[in-house]
Structure 1
Amino acid sequence: MKNFPLFTIVVAILCTSCDKKEKATEIATTPSEKFCIVIHGGAGTILKENMSDSLEAEYNRVLDLAVSKGYEILKNGGTSLDAVTQAIMILEDSPLFNAGKGAVFTNEGKNELDASIMDGKSKAAGSVASVTRVKNPITLARAIMEVSEHVMMVGLGAEKFAEQNGIELVDPSYFFTEKRWEGLQKAKEREKIELDHAAAINYDLLIKNQKFGTVGCVALDKKGNIAAGTSTGGMTNKRYGRVGDAPIIGAGTYADNATCGVSATGWGEFFIRNVVAYDIAAQMQYKKVTLGEAAKETIQKKVPEMGGDGGIIAIDKEGNIVMEFNTAGMYRAAIDINGKKIIEIYK
């Protein structure tokens, strides 16, 4: 009797009940080394006519830096979690974006920060809300995921956990920027005008015109693992300890190696009610639609039908990248599985 190599026997067994050529090709394929990354810096009324050339160049520079640093980690064999964390930290450190250093002010004149991160391999997740002293909230969200048995922490308790685990804390004055402070004053002036013409306070109407935004990242590493993260300063002039979708797993952030990773940006109340990030992954899993089809259904149909707006970035398990939004613009950048870089702002 001839001695066949073990690999030949395994292939022969696996091919007996299916198309031989297709299955043989699948078996012979080495582990995928596809890797890619996509980031966003918020969606909203972003028009070229309102943007100076110098400011546009600075937005492009920071977007380029963040996406390139994340991609470099992936290229060198790093994890998607590390790539997402690094890219978001860069965006948090820039005063251009509504997260970290560039966070907007609440009605009380504070900066309250939210963030979340999720590992598509283990479905582990961590999130934080309403912190005022954490320099990079995405690092705290990750520590909550990796060090604690919890998923979400808020406020002073979250800051105490951060201090105990070596997360960098800063004085709240670190987050002050003149641009965001002026934004709060304008929002209050607009609110006063609206109240003068209203019989009663309608909080939904008051917040509708307030500037909001978020930063986020999704990455696929060489081992096929997807991670997603989101960070935000919330909504200008927000009250009552309001928290949006960014720290809510399934709404603002979701990752599952079997389907996709998603980071959202927009009017958080509607993204929570539509469970936007999970909805996209669920459509892929249960309806067997593509990432692009699922994203379009959620962002162009479900969210607007309720009255909300915004966008998402996402990557599926094959490395397909989607950047879907229903606003005038979304700060975004990506490097795909072929190494092609895209940096865009407007529709």
Structure 2
Amino acid sequence: MYPFAIAIHGGAGTITPASMTPEQEKAYKAALRNTVEAGYATLAAGGSALDAVEQAVVLLEDVPLFNAGKGSVFTKDGRHEMDAAIMCGKNLDAGAVAGVRSIRNPITLARAIMDHSDHVFMSGYGAEEFARKHQVAFEPEEYFYDAFRHRQWREVRETDLFVLDHTVDEKFGTVGAVALDAEGNMAAATSTGGMTNKNFNRIGDTPVIGAGTYANNKTCAISCTGHGEFFLRAVVAYDVSCLMEYKGLSLHQACQQVVHEKLVEFGGEGGLIAVDATGEIALPFNSEGMYRASKKQNQETFVGIYK
């Protein structure tokens, strides 16, 4: 029996005590704690890492505090385009989806792609058709409407600017989960609503296996958050795994090298959550803050926001 563990994130960036009210901080911490403890309960009951990370991300997608699912930001045309990915460390099976609209829980669609197709990555209209075939829940546009999000979009919609999830003016982010179950299997899942006012069907690192999401029982499970273009170029999630597999680095050593050295060298801001085969958890980030929580077998729940 392995020492099961789970970690989650809700985005990383310019998140400081001065940028939040006490009520906002309380709401974020409560959402993070409730989510990580629900995922942990699944593991404690003998559930799989895959089920635990999907469940955790679904819960985060259903909370409008975070930029995923219900809380997704507005695109250039005033709609929502969502991306997600999930990966199984036991057999390297994976499912991913990009640019879908009206899907209540994109991570559930990613899981369906992994479980019920011979493909890994689907996008747009085709992915939505697949969702209908497999009874994945849809919601009307009004479900994704948030007044604060809409106001932010209105401020930039007539420009060519896009707003990152983690800028000082926007404290919402990609969500993700990683877990190790009692059988020794790992899994990772990540979901996002992208960037406010994004154009041209832009896709970040979240749904790209190896960039924003990766799991391998030999090494670790990783879910990333931050400025996606840099995470794509650095192949961050797989890079951490490679440093462990081929150079023999520990989880913390690999995360340090990738997040605090490699990314920083060329301007990449953000962080990741990770778990290895021993149940060790890493929550590194090079930004001002990262919404994060974790829980290991027979240990207290950890919840953090700031450095």
Q: Fold-level match, TM-score > 0.5? A: yes
Residue identity in the other structure for 2:239: D
1:57 aligns to 2:26 (yes or no): yes
Equivalent residue number for residue 227 of structure 1? 187
Q: Deviation of residue 170 (structure 1)?
A: 1.1
From 229, 240, 255, the counterpart of 1:269 = 229
From 142, 146, 151, the counterpart of 2:120 = 151
What are the ranges of 5 or more consecutive residues in structure 1 without an aligned counterpart?
Answer: 1-31, 193-202
Equivalent residue number for residue 242 of structure 2? 282
Structure with the bigger percentage of helix? 1
Q: Deviation of residue 207 (structure 1)?
A: 5.4
Task: Tell me how many residue pairs correspond in the alignment.
Answer: 303
Aligned counterparts of 2:154 and 2:17: Cα–Cα separation in 1 = 24
Q: Deviation of residue 185 (structure 1)?
A: 2.2
Equivalent residue number for residue 6 of structure 1? none
Residue identity in the other structure for 2:75: T
Q: Deviation of residue 86 (structure 1)?
A: 0.6
Equivalent residue number for residue 208 of structure 2? 248
Equivalent residue number for residue 265 of structure 2? 305
Residue identity in the other structure for 2:192: T
SS at match of 2:8: strand
1:239 aligns to 2:199 (yes or no): yes
1:41 aligns to 2:1 (yes or no): no
Aligned counterparts of 1:326 and 1:70: Cα–Cα separation in 2 = 26
SS at match of 1:325: coil
What are the ranges of 5 or more consecutive residues in structure 2 without an aligned counterpart?
Answer: none
- 8 A Cα contact 1:123 1:255, kept in partner: yes
Q: Deviations over 1:240-280 (max 9, x none)?
A: 11000000000000000000000000000110110000000
SS at match of 1:240: coil
Equivalent residue number for residue 337 of structure 1? 297
- 8 A Cα contact 1:213 1:235, kept in partner: no
- 8 A Cα contact 2:2 2:278, kept in partner: no
Aligned counterparts of 2:6 and 2:189: Cα–Cα separation in 1 = 12
Residue identity in the other structure for 2:154: Q
Aligned counterparts of 1:108 and 1:188: Cα–Cα separation in 2 = 8
Aligned counterparts of 2:255 and 2:281: Cα–Cα separation in 1 = 11
Aligned counterparts of 2:157 and 2:287: Cα–Cα separation in 1 = 24
Larger Rg: 1
Residue identity in the other structure for 2:203: V
Residue identity in the other structure for 2:278: E
SS at match of 1:324: coil
More relative contact order, 1 or 2 (CA 8 Å, 6+ apart):
2
Q: Deviation of residue 164 (structure 1)?
A: 0.3
Q: Deviation of residue 183 (structure 1)?
A: 1.6
Equivalent residue number for residue 132 of structure 2? 163
Residue identity in the other structure for 1:137: P
Alignment map for 1:319-338 (pairs within 5 Å): 319-338=279-298
Q: Deviation of residue 187 (structure 1)?
A: 3.4
- 8 A Cα contact 1:106 1:239, kept in partner: yes
Equivalent residue number for residue 11 of structure 1? none
Alignment map for 1:134-149 (pairs within 5 Å): 134-149=103-118
Aligned counterparts of 2:304 and 2:295: Cα–Cα separation in 1 = 12
SS at match of 2:127: helix
1:187 aligns to 2:156 (yes or no): yes
From 207, 217, 220, the counterpart of 1:260 = 220
Aligned counterparts of 1:67 and 1:230: Cα–Cα separation in 2 = 14
1:294 aligns to 2:254 (yes or no): yes
SS at match of 1:217: strand
Q: Moved runs in structure 1, 4+ residues, more than 6 A?
A: none
Equivalent residue number for residue 275 of structure 2? 315
Equivalent residue number for residue 196 of structure 1? none
- 8 A Cα contact 1:262 1:314, kept in partner: yes
Q: Deviation of residue 100 (structure 1)?
A: 0.4
